[in-house]
Amino acid sequence: MKSVRVWLTVLLCGVLWISVSSCFNASPAYISTSKTRNIHLIVKMNKGDYWNTLKLGAEAAAKEFNVNLTFKAPDSESDIEEQVVMVEDSIQEKADVIILAASSYMGLAQVVDQAAYSRIPVISVDAEVGSAKVRTYVGSNGYEAGQKSAERLIQLLQGYGEIGIINFTNSSLTPDSGKTGSIDYGARDADEREKGFLNYAARFPNVKVVQIAYTSSSTSDAENLTREMLNKYPQLRGIATLNEIASQGAARVIQGLDRDSVKMIAFDSSPSMMESLQDDTVQATVIQNPFSNGYLAVKYAVEALEGMDIPERVDTGTKLIDLENMLWPENQKLLFPFVR
Amino acid sequence: MNKPRGYFFPLRPGSRKSGRLRLSSKLRSIQLIIMLTFMAVTAAVAVIVSVMLYGKFANTAEENANLNMQQIIEQVNYNLELYVKGMGSIFATAEKQITSTPSIDSPLLYERMDTLMSSREDLVSVAVFTPQGQYVVGTPGQTMRMNTGLESQSWFTTAKHTSEISYSAPHIQNLFKGRYTWVVSISKLIQYRENGELRTGVLLLDFNFRTIDELSKQVKLGKRGYAYILDPLGNIVYHPQQQLIYAGLKYENVEPVLEYAYRSYLDESTGEKRFITVRTLAQTGWKIVGVAYYDEIVTTKRDLNQFLAWFLGVVLVCVIAVSVFLSWLIASPIRKLERTVKQVAEGDLNTPINVSGAYEVEQLSRRFNMMLQRIRQLMEQIIYEQETKRKGELEVLQSQINPHFLYNTLNSVIRLAERGKTDEVVTMIQSLSRFFRISLSKGKNIITIQEELDHIRHYLVIQSFRFRNKFRYEITAQEEVLECQTIKLILQPIVENALYHGIEMMPDEGLISITAGLQDGLIIIRVSDNGLGMSKETVNGILSGSVKSTSGSGVGVRNVHERIGLYYGREYGLAFQSELEEGTVVTIVFPARPAGEAMDEQKEETNL
């Protein structure tokens, strides 16, 4: 009887203590920043304003959520092997999360599976990768972006004429033969944009896509390709470029050209592209949201580590920018990263 | 029987049948009541005091934090005001230089503009436009872009509408070649001369965010708190997470901020409690907004919280310990008392009650002890009174012996007188007279053994006339015995017994011998006869009174035994030894007391 009473008293005290302490220490509603997390961000290339802005976004999030961000990128967008090696290194270094913009849809699938096997969550940014183990994809809809580009170009051409496309990182790296490859080694975003463009253009019988050129990741290469294309198809009335490097190269060639007849729809919003837009060298550009991509990728990475539910796919959207709407306040904010 | 009693006396710790009742009596124990009450009261006081202290401190902390934050924002406001004033004065300088120059395209103005530009790092560009949007003059070395759309830009339109200096919202400077930069534009309609002709134009100064940034970045409102700047339309001029807000990833609830120029309030629109402080810059109408997170402001509050939680915990533990101890201290003597009383109730009146503890309990135990003593006394008195009563009865019995004997004796005397035996009649009457004298002994109960032996001798003399030639007798006594005390008339019933039952039926002559002796301080008187003797059952039955002889003298022997027991104690009395056809020996044993020592009477006095 006595011992029962003692135990009852102890129990009572315990319950009292718990209830008192639970009143005082309610858990905070925001993500905990007390722990430093190692997140590795591996993108396609270490050059270009696009990736820079994406990195800025990732850094903003890293600062906010107390993340130790490691940024890695190969020199060239087509250097798939190096990117694979980088992912492997990150697995070795026991990153908490790997955020990956895959240069190749299938080329990085295996290494992503490997990361998942090591219990490292992988988040895709910008370009998807062919693995079911990826936790989430943060980026824009490439197909839609391609369609927007095609729609504006065909509108500018009044629905007829020859069109050339300059794309990047093709599956086989040899132009015009990519369609037969049984394994898709191209970057997913490039493929999607191209598909979107071609599918839209196919609705117009008078519009003919005469060539799809694939550039590696250098402006000069893109310039050469553009020149070749213009020489080969003198009747060319429109050019669509599907990434930043290609756009910069093509814009430079067209600017040097005296003929006003070639219309161009570019991709992404580097400052030089804005200049070309203002000069009317380029009539419009399809922009993505690299800052948001970087920020959200890191944010979801942290949330995944916290064990929260994260969406399977996050579309950060695309927008078509032309001379008219580039100075609208809301577009200014998208186009020009607020760099200090 | 148990149940109704339990019902009528619920406080009696009697009914141990049902567990529920036992538990409730456990719950009603003094210890538990004291413990719980003490605990409850102290805990309540501790909690109330803590809560009040907490409220008071928390309020003060909150107020201080709030005040502190307001001061910081005030400071930022002041610095920015200075900065904006500086911008205004630069603008005024530029304006003065332009208006005072005789011709707008003079090289001197170019030079001055150049100096002005290089003097300030945050100055991006200076330019004058015609009201139609044509470029007139500007920072040396800059070339206009195409398609600027400046006519529709806000700095241009507002300058054309008012004559005041206007500050634009942050926007992209797209007028000149080079980098696209985010700037704040200051513009005003001014007068300038071109080739001696007075014209109007729009003067534009673009400032980048460097200084505003630096001024605002210093603001630290806790770990996560920050400050941001809004223009009067709600556009964000500066925000530490400007890019995130521009990208639509973050959201700042600016509507309540815009409504007031000077305000502090608590905002919960983001789900988190945040303190918002708003101040407004006089010149530009910009609003400086400080945001501090409530849970950070109240870190002191949380610390206090934790401390109080610990404090409460420790206090509660102490209170529990103290109350357990205290209640034990109070309850244990009472419980001990209860146990003792229970023992007493069970019949052990000699239980000593010595409970120490609280004064009241001690008093209670003492009073109880006294009560117990009194009870014992009263009981002894009752016993004594009972015994005296019985003694009286015995004395009555004792006196009843006499008439029977007298009648027999007088018959014998008559017979002797009829036969003319005068001598024998005289002897007989003499003996009778002495016999009665000793029997009465002036009402005394105690006589000497000498007297007792005389008494029995007279009796035997008388009886020897009745039972002529039927028996002989001898009486021997030690000298020292003779002066000892005895209760009177103890021998006569025994001898009478021996005569009537032992010798009367005998065919031969019987012998009755009486010896009195002293042994170990005890007087031992033996009355032996050689009569018929008694069976074992009869011997055993005599003293318990189960054997009744027809003449009634059996009672007499028992009376002797009981009287000795009453006077001298139960261990003294008669003992019988008898053998059929052999005779009987009756032994009387009682303590020897010299004559003149009326102990019994004295003892009786004190007992009363």
For chain A, strand residue ranges (E) read: 37-42, 67-72, 97-100, 122-125, 134-139, 161-168, 207-215, 236-241, 263-267, 284-287, 313-315, 319-322
C-beta atoms of A279 and B172 within 8 A: no
**Phi-psi map region of A71: left, alpha, beta (phi>0 left; psi -120 to 50 alpha):** beta
Q: Which domains does chain A have, with CATH numbers?
A: 2-140+288-317 (3.40.50.2300), 142-287 (3.40.50.2300)
Of B26, B210, B247, the CB nearest to A291: B247
The helix (H) or strand (E) run that includes residue B197 is: strand B197-207
Q: Do B243 and A60 touch (CB under 8 A)?
A: yes
- The helix/strand/coil state of B189 is strand
Which residues of chain A make contact with B169, given a CB cutoff of 8 A? 329
Chain A interface test: which of B217, B249, B250 (most A C-beta within 10 Å): B249
Q: Rounded distance, CA A178 to CA A173, Å?
A: 8
CA proximity to A297, closest of A63, A116, A100: A100
Plot region of A31 (φ>0 → left; ψ -120 to 50 → alpha; else → beta): beta
pLDDT at residue number B608:
38
A56 touches chain B (CB under 8 A): yes
What pLDDT shows up at residue A49? 83
Q: For residue A2, what pLDDT is reported?
A: 58
Instruction: Count how many pairs of residues, chain A against chain B, have C-beta atoms within 8 Å.
Output: 83
User: What chain B residue is nearest to A278 in terms of C-alpha separation?
Assistant: B147
Kindly give the pairing relationship between strand B135-138 and strand B123-129: antiparallel
pLDDT at A31: 63
Residues of B in contact with A17 (CB under 8 A): 313
- Among the partner residues B146, B182, B272, nearest to A336 by beta-carbon distance: B182
Of A296, A327, A334, nearest to B149 by CB-CB distance is A327
pLDDT of A298: 93
Q: CA B136, CA B194: separation in Å to the nearest integer?
A: 10
Q: Contact B145/A56, CB-based, under 8 Å?
A: no
| Cα(B542)–Cα(B564) distance, integer angstroms | 15
Distance from CA of A317 to the nearest CA of B (A): 11
Whether the Cβ atoms of residue A284 and residue A294 lie closer than 8 Å to each other: no
Write out pLDDT tens, residues A61-83.
Answer: 898 888 999 999 998 887 888 99
Which residue numbers of B have CB closer than 8 Å to A's CBs?
Answer: 26, 145-149, 153, 169, 171-172, 174, 177, 179-180, 182, 209-210, 213, 235, 241-244, 246-249, 271-272, 295, 302, 305-306, 308-309, 312-313, 316-317, 320
pLDDT score recorded for residue A198: 93
Q: 3-state DSSP call for residue B428?
A: helix
State residue B3's pLDDT score.
41
| A65 interfaces chain B, CB cutoff of 8 Å | no
Is A244 within 8 Å of A270 (Cβ atoms)?
A: yes
Q: Is A9 in Cβ contact with B209 (below 8 Å)?
A: no
Task: Sort out which chain A residues have CB atoms less than 8 A from B225's CB and list them.
Answer: none
pLDDT at res. A26: 43
Whole-number Å distance between alpha carbons of B145 and B177: 6
| Contact partners, residue B496, CB within 8 Å, separation at least 6 | B459, B553, B556
Q: What is the pLDDT along chain A (340 residues), one digit of tens a residue?
A: 556 767 777 777 677 667 655 555 444 445 666 788 999 999 988 888 889 889 988 998 898 888 999 999 998 887 888 999 999 999 999 999 999 998 888 888 999 999 999 999 999 998 888 888 888 999 999 999 999 999 999 999 998 889 999 988 654 444 443 343 444 567 788 888 999 999 999 999 999 999 988 887 788 888 999 999 999 998 888 999 998 888 989 998 988 876 677 899 999 888 888 888 888 889 999 998 888 899 999 999 999 888 888 898 889 889 999 888 888 888 887 788 765 5
- List chain B residues with CB under 8 Å of A325: none
Residues of B in contact with A54 (CB under 8 A): none
| d(C-alpha A298, C-alpha A62), whole Å | 7
Q: What is the mean pLDDT of each run of 10 residues along chain B (608 residues)?
A: 42 45 66 84 86 84 83 88 88 87 82 84 87 83 80 86 84 84 88 83 87 80 82 83 79 82 81 84 85 75 80 86 85 83 80 76 84 89 82 62 76 88 88 84 80 89 82 89 85 84 83 90 90 82 63 63 80 87 89 69 40
* B241 vs B246: CA distance, rounded Å: 9
Q: Measured between CA atoms, how close is A160 to chain B, in angstroms?
A: 28
